[in-house]
Amino acid sequence: MATAAKVSPASAGRSAVVLRAQRSLWQDAWHTFSRDRLAVTGLVVLAVITLGALVGPYVWSDQGKEIDFGLSLSGPSLAHPFGNDDLGRDLLARAMLGARVSLAVGVSAVVLAITLGTTIGAVAGYFGRLDNPLMRLTDLFLSLPVLPLLLVLVYLFKDTLQRTIGLELGTFIMIVSVIGFLNWMPTARLVRASFLTLKQREFVEAARSVGAPHGRIIFRHILPNSLSPVLVAATIGIGGAIITESTLSFLGLGFPPDQPTLGRILYEAVNYLDFAPHWAIVPGLAIFLIVLAINFIGDGLRDALDPRRKI
């Protein structure tokens, strides 16, 4: 199977037909994905940002936490290419520190929300018996008052979590779970709706008639066809999660005030928009690029995984 990549251009036309049957779904998907220019661009951008976030703080000497009122709100310069904030801290360094946390929170929270939502939606849509109870649970979560709920969660868990697994990891898990557990409902509704329609389709009934087990029907036949709404929800969710994190910080539920995140830097910058607009540029641009890259990747993935594409 690995030979597929090494086929010489001359014989590509003929062998492709032969080899296609041998390629697994995932290899096939990667093949399509790698030809999608936008998707690959997205992947590269995301990789660059991730690398910047992981390595940047070690390379860029300024720690981003040094307070220097002499540099307060000064614009971009050679020493500080993105300028400084009100306490005179280097914004590039802060953005790199912030991107690390924001990316981790955004991706983990969305993975959690999508996994939960897809599972609940799939089960509800596929097994008619469980539909009602699961959807009523969804209603319950949709209508819970978020803010008091958050306050109760802090009240009950913050201390314990931070004590057992440390301040940073504890806060991280807390935030990811809060965003994840409060955002799975739309995905569940979408997946369920998709399942309700698809399970009546011919190909599913065909699979059922040849005695395919439920698991196989769900994972092989219906789920790949429902990926589109899931991916849309996921890619929209990441931007949302990065912003939501900043809101949580301002409720005292998020990271401590000296831990920058992209959302928080943007939030702090807002009040200076008219006389220090440079402050908002780094975090705003970074969030936008992350969202853009992830959406391109999501689109590429969807196309690559779409079973109908091959028709």
**Contact residue for other proteins among 9, 13, 145, 215 (CB under 8 A):** 145
Is 158 a binding residue for other proteins by CB under 8 A? The answer is yes
The residue among 18 and 152 lying less far from other proteins, judged by its C-beta, is 152
Is 275 a binding residue for other proteins by CB under 8 A? The answer is yes
Contacts of 156 (CB under 8 A, 6+ apart): none
The residue among 145 and 213 lying less far from other proteins, judged by its C-beta, is 145
The residue among 13 and 148 lying less far from other proteins, judged by its C-beta, is 148
Is 205 a binding residue for other proteins by CB under 8 A? The answer is no
> Least distance to other proteins from the beta carbon of 247, Å?
8
Q: Which parts of 32-91 interact with other proteins (CB under 8 A)? A: 65-67, 69, 72-73, 86-87
Is 203 a binding residue for other proteins by CB under 8 A? The answer is no
Is 130 a binding residue for other proteins by CB under 8 A? The answer is no
Size of site (CB under 8 A) for other proteins: 76
> Least distance to other proteins from the beta carbon of 264, Å?
10
Q: Of the ranges 8-16, 46-54, 139-147, 211-219, which one interacts with other proteins (CB under 8 A)?
A: 139-147
SS3 track for the chain: CHHHHHCCHHHHHHHHHHHHCCCCHHHHHHHHHHCCHHHHHHHHHHHHHHHHHHHHHHHCCCCCCCCCHHHCCCCCCCCCCCCECCCCCEHHHHHHHHHHHHHHHHHHHHHHHHHHHHHHHHHHHHCHHHHHHHHHHHHHHHHCCHHHHHHHHHHHHHHHHHHHHCHHHHHHHHHHHHHHHCCCHHHHHHHHHHHHHHCCCHHHHHHHHCCCCHHHHHHHHHHHHHHHHHHHHHHHHHHHHHHHHHHHHHCCCCCCCCCCCHHHHHHHHHHHCCCCCHHHHHHHHHHHHHHHHHHHHHHHHHHHHCHHHHC
Is 209 a binding residue for other proteins by CB under 8 A? The answer is no
Is 272 a binding residue for other proteins by CB under 8 A? The answer is yes
The residue among 18 and 48 lying less far from other proteins, judged by its C-beta, is 48
Q: Which parts of 229-258 interact with other proteins (CB under 8 A)? A: 229, 231-232, 235-236, 239-240, 243, 246, 250-252, 256-258
Q: Of the ranges 48-56, 93-101, 110-118, 143-151, which one interacts with other proteins (CB under 8 A)?
A: 143-151
